[in-house]
Amino acid sequence: MCYHEHPFFRFYLIAAVSWICSAGIAQADWPLFCRPRPACPTPLEPLTVPPEEKKLLEPVLTPVTTAALGDGLTSVPNIQGNLLGAGKSVRFFVNRTEGRGFLFDNGTTNVTNAKVADNNSPIPQDRIGFRYNFFHNALSVTGLGDTPRFDPFIQGNVEPSRTRLYDVQMYTVDFEKTFLDGLCSLQLRVPFATTVSSDLNLSFGSIDPSLPIITQDGSPALNVTRTPGETLGHEATEFGNMQVIFKSLLWQEPRWAISGGLSLGIPTAQDTTVRVADYIGSLALNLSQIQRVREFHIENETWALSPFLAFVAVPNSRWFTQGFMQVEFPLNSSDVVLRETLPTAIPGLNLKRLVVAPGGKLPPFEDRAQLNEQTLLHLDWNIGYWLMRRPENRFLTGIAPVLELHYTTTLNDADIITLQKSFPVVPAKLPNGSFDFLKLASEPSPQVGNFRNRMDLLDLTVGTTFEIANRSTLAVGVAVPLRGGDNRTYDWEFQAMFNYYFGGPRIAPPNILGN
């Protein structure tokens, strides 16, 4: 039998042919074993979608996805702001220091800033912020000048006045946290301020106990030395009124949004206390015979509720604008207390013999009243432009100059409290040794309140926000009042604020700077 007729030969031959075809050797253009190579498919034309259908296919961004992307509404810098408020002052009449002298004095109390818009955005945010505001020549205290001036009309000296201007430096810590998938947020503000102290001892003269009692025409008098420097107040750093702000998105579209909320002002700042020491004596003999001390105490008890509405719009990838409208309502009044005493008098003077004329009262006495704050309307608006946006940068990822207008007006008249004045007569010792009583010119009653009354503040803020590493912002700006007189609460303001956003990978809108 030949080998090709052997049954195993046929098996091996079939197996070899099957392996060659399955191994792909036929791809070497062997016509006996391979099928033709299929032709390459013709490339398809790209699918085109009409613009009107494409718009329908675009996803609507929720607040969470917007914050994560860091574009559109959440890329708008916070409003910087502008406001400085000081609604309570003390006004009193100074009778004399050494000899005869008169001065109508006033001192401003603590400062407040309850404006929601300052360093804020209409969009709820996850952030920690710090804000510094410097107000130049914002508050003042009027005291004694250098040399008394003789007035022939009253035949005595009139005390010259001098006003010391105080700057205000405010430091505010902000913490804001979102909830309900970024639709709402709660914000806590903790402020401090360095400015004129809310606890003042204004001494218009001091008694020198080492010197004997002086006499004039047989009438004794106290040795009083004028102390002008102690009538101008001093600075202090104090805790301010805290603020809790609830904010919620009310309506949102890809290019604009509206939000609203409530702010609660908490009276955590110090009470205001102003102590005034002056002297009373014979008008005819030009003497200081009684020391008078008045203490004005204003409780910081007023809570405030402020509903607000806000909007933000982004017409394109560069321009943005936003604004706030807020009405601030006081919820209760604050107590005002005046205590007046006569701690020192010349020896032998019987204070019980003092005659009190109509309208006066003999110390010691206490007078109490209730002070109501004014209702305020705040309007804030800004517009800005992204001069540079480069999210791929490692450090500086954006620069946005802004221009802001801030308007604040009082919606009702100020509550001016008129307190009890003391006796308008003083004793005079006659040459025969007996006491007579001469009537003083009636002095004005002391007052507490906002003596500017109705105010319309309009301020301009110019600033720039720098975006850092897509997660922080540093904003600096300058604010100037656009109106004068009582509608000007400071000369100019510098502000700087830093915000760190810990929510999504990108920050919320650059906040309103404020004023």
Contact indicator for 160, 146 with CB cutoff of 8 Å: yes
Interatomic CA distance for residues 296 and 274, integer angstroms: 5
179 or 76: whose pLDDT is higher? 179
Cβ-contact 215, 223 below 8 angstroms: no
What's the CA gap between 274 and 143, in Å, rounded? 13
In 362-455, which ranges are E strands? 365-371, 376-385, 388-389, 396-410, 417-418, 425-429, 435-439, 447-449
Q: Is the confidence at residue 122, as pLDDT, over 90?
A: yes
Top-ranked range on mean pLDDT: pick from 2-16, 178-192, 283-297: 178-192
- What is the DSSP code (8-state) at residue 10? H
* pLDDT given for residue 440 in this prediction: 52
Regarding predicted confidence, which is higher, 510 or 39? 510
CB 404 within 8 A of CB 512: yes
Residue given tokens 């007046």 in the structure block: 340
Q: What are phi and psi of 447, to 5 degrees?
A: -135, 155
Decide if 23 is inside a domain.
no
Query: What is the Cα–Cα distance from 80 to 242, expressed in whole angstroms?
Result: 19
* Confidence check: pLDDT of 297 > 70: yes
pLDDT tens per residue, range 154-205: 556 677 788 888 899 999 999 999 999 999 999 999 999 998 888 989 888 8
Q: Which two tokens stand for residue 506?
A: 């990108």
Lowest mean pLDDT among 51-55, 435-439, 467-471: 51-55
| Per-residue CA distances from 257 to 67, 74, 170, 278, 320 (Å) | 14, 10, 31, 59, 12
What SS3 class is residue 408? strand
Split at pLDDT 50, 70, 90, the class of 30 is very low
| Structure token pair of residue 456 | 């319309």
Query: Is the pLDDT reported for residue 104 higher than 70?
Result: no
% of the chain with per-residue pLDDT over 70: 70
Q: Which of 2-11, 202-211, 294-303 has maximum average pLDDT? A: 294-303
Domain contains 141: yes
76: containing domain = 72-514
**Distance, CA of 234 to CA of 154 (rounded, Å):** 33
**Is residue 35, in this structure, part of any structural domain at all?**
no
Mean pLDDT of 418-430: 72
Strand duo 447-449 + 417-418: pairing: antiparallel
CATH number of the domain that 441 lies in?
Answer: 2.40.160.40
Which pLDDT does position 129 carry in this prediction? 95
Q: In this predicted model, which residue has the larger pLDDT, 450 or 169?
A: 169
Is 260 a domain residue? yes
| Weakest-pLDDT range from 5-14, 133-142, 370-379 | 5-14
Apex 254 CA angle, 469 and 64, nearest 5: 55
Kind of pairing, strands 219-221 and 224-226?
A: unpaired
Could you give the number of structural domains in the chain? 1
Residue scoring higher pLDDT (39 or 344): 344
74 pLDDT higher than 90 = no
Strand ranges for 197-287 from DSSP E? 199-203, 205-207, 214-216, 219-221, 224-226, 235-239, 242-252, 256-266, 272-280
Question: Is residue 38 packed enough to be buried (19+ CB in 10 Å), middle (13-18) or exposed (0-12)?
Answer: exposed
CA distance 97 to 278: 6
Asked which of 182-186, 265-269, 427-431, 505-509 is least confident by mean pLDDT, the reply is: 505-509
Residue 40 belongs to a domain: no
Residue whose C-alpha is closest to residue 424's, from 90, 93, 159, 91: 93
Over the chain, what is the mean pLDDT?
A: 78
Name the pairing type of β-strands 224-226 and 214-216: unpaired
Q: Which residue has the tokens 């802004």?
A: 402
Q: pLDDT band at residue 344, thresholds of 50, 70 and 90?
A: confident
State residue 426's pLDDT score: 61
Contact between 177 and 508 (Cβ < 8 Å): no
d(CA 276, CA 163): 16
- What's the chain's length in residues? 515
pLDDT: is 323 or 23 the higher one?
323
pLDDT of 464 higher than 50: yes
Q: Say whether 87 sits in a helix, a strand or coil.
A: coil
What is the phi-psi region of residue 155: left when phi exceeds 0, alpha when psi lies from -120 to 50, beta otherwise? left
For 309, the token pair is: 């509405």
Spatial neighbors of 85 by CB under 8 A, at least 6 apart, are 111, 112, 113, 114, 376, 408, 489
Which has the higher per-residue pLDDT, 289 or 30? Answer: 289
CA distance 64 to 87: 41
DSSP 284: T
Tens of pLDDT, residues 193-251: 998 888 989 888 888 877 777 776 667 788 888 888 888 889 999 999 999 999 999 99
Here the tokens at position 61 are 């961004």
Identify whether 48 is part of a domain. Answer: no
pLDDT at 509: 52
Residue 202: strand, helix, or coil: strand
Residue by residue, DSSP assigns 49-81 as: --HHHHHHHSPPPPHHHHHHHT-GGGGSPEEEE
pLDDT at 470 over 60: yes
Q: What's the angle, vertex CA 198, arms to CA 194 and CA 201, rounded to 5? A: 120
- Which pLDDT tens digit goes with each residue over 351-404? 776 767 677 788 889 999 999 999 999 999 999 999 999 988 999 999 999 999
Say what the pLDDT of residue 175 is. Answer: 97
Nearest to 456 by CA among 479, 489, 478, 480: 489
Instruction: Write down the residue that tokens 């307190």 correspond to.
Output: 419
pLDDT for position 87: 60
Q: What is the pLDDT of residue 145?
A: 81
Q: Is residue 60 part of a domain?
A: no
Q: Is residue 13 part of a domain?
A: no
Contact 326, 116 (CB under 8 A): yes
